[in-house]
Amino acid sequence: MHLLVIFLAAAVSAQNSPPPPPPDRIWFRQDSLPAGETCASIYETVKNTPAVIKERTPSSWSDDATFKISHQILTGTYTNPKTGETTERKGRDWAHDSGKKSTCAEGCCEFQFGSLAKNYVKWFPTSSDCSNTGAAKEAPLYFKASAGAAAKLCALFPEKADSAPVWQLLEGTAAGCVGQCCTIKRN
């Protein structure tokens, strides 16, 4: 949760010139590897198809989704949003990992490796303000929308890295969409 809070706070505060994203992964769903096949060989057959996802993104899955993925961590430069310090991160070769879907928000979920549980900030969509927190959910901050559509939500996170979380109104547009699953880019 701490990492998500830092990411969300950094994304919200760095509206005009956000740091480049951390190096990420290439992945695709592959429940089993046929005899003689590897993640890399299967990637060669699917690399130019919608099956390949090239970043950490939301996806829509059924409620009982448990599956395996093939993924490769990419080499790249990560900029720490708190300090501005850049670090070169090594990549990792292809792996075939088990996992399951995360808690979902409006049908948009994340892949979780093995039994690794993630904590999420509480948030909810709103048409007014943050006074009625009854609809808040602790889930990935993804919602169904079209890229560029107006978006308004409330999220519980600290205004500063060392302060207590407070409900904050976020107004902006739907961005970072994968299909209909989007997050918010503040105005």
In tens digits, the chain (187 residues) has pLDDT values of: 444 433 444 444 444 444 445 446 787 888 888 898 898 999 999 988 888 877 655 555 545 556 677 777 788 777 666 677 777 878 888 888 777 777 788 888 877 766 667 788 999 999 999 999 999 999 888 898 999 999 999 999 898 888 999 999 999 999 888 778 888 998 8
Tell me the C-alpha distance between 181 and 107, whole Å: 8
> Which residues touch 55 (CB under 8 Å, ≥6 apart)?
21, 24, 25
Q: Are strands 76-79 and 86-89 parallel, antiparallel or unpaired?
A: antiparallel
